[in-house]
Structure 1
Amino acid sequence: MWKEFKKFISRGNVIDLAVGIIIGGAFQVIVRSLVDDIIMPILGLFTGGIDFSNLYINLSGGSYETLAAAKAAGAATINIGLFINAVINFLILAFVIFLIVRQINKIRERQKKEEAPAAPTTKTCPFCHTSIPIEATRCPNCTSELGKKG
């Protein structure tokens, strides 16, 4: 069992996956900061100073100034602002991942084109089996007529 685990964990794609998860977690922190510290304040400015992080619906009937105060009092709340933040985080993260995957696909396509074999320039005469130009209609060695498809 230990040997199988060692073989599994040392595979390249498992390590790549682990690195991807770690980088993704770090990137999520950056996106969250972008949304919370830059986008949401600008959005709040355009919506008349609304602080989305404190936008909530109180289900318990009491009145609280902030979401933190409502949570501290144990009030049941629907946290609309936090949900909006999460949706914006997701959309930004999904868009950035889309851009990254798009660029990777372009690079792969370019590599495939560079690696693609060149079109053949010669063919084999079916009569004498020598190499002749692909556009030849008559073999220069045995003078056989090859026709258009040879």
Structure 2
Amino acid sequence: MNLIHEQYAILTALVPQSIAAAGSAQGGAIDLQGRHSFCVAVQLGAVAADKSVTVELSTGNAADGTDGKTLDSVTYTAPTGGVTDHVVELSGLVRPTMGRYLKVKVTNNGAAAVLSGAAVILDCGHYPEDTGATVKVVGAAANNQPAG
């Protein structure tokens, strides 16, 4: 039986932080070597009414991002009344034409600071993956028994 932490690696793509009005923040490089797919989950704090935040993914072969090219982006605009939180997800398959490293950039297009952080979920491809995360298996799975 494979447990979820044996199948996926969850890494920090952007540490939680406040992004100033008209500012942006970019996380460190995530190594895609040996991966098949990824899902980036960006958690946003409060976004004012009709203001927007853009999430951009870039890939390149240099870990420092100097050769990064935009892979894709999405802009979220808060509805009238604003929101207290929102999640933006971007996922895809790792392709040979992509660079080895993935980076996440969050741009605040609004007039007030926005809190944001991001995690990337990667398929592990082998057992076990040591990401340095603290993992505790609970319930029936702790005894390698099916739930139920």
TM-score range, shorter chain: under 0.3
TM norm structure 2: 0.23
Which is higher, the Rg of structure 1 or of structure 2? 1
Is the strand fraction higher in 1 or 2? 2
Is the helix fraction higher in 1 or 2? 1
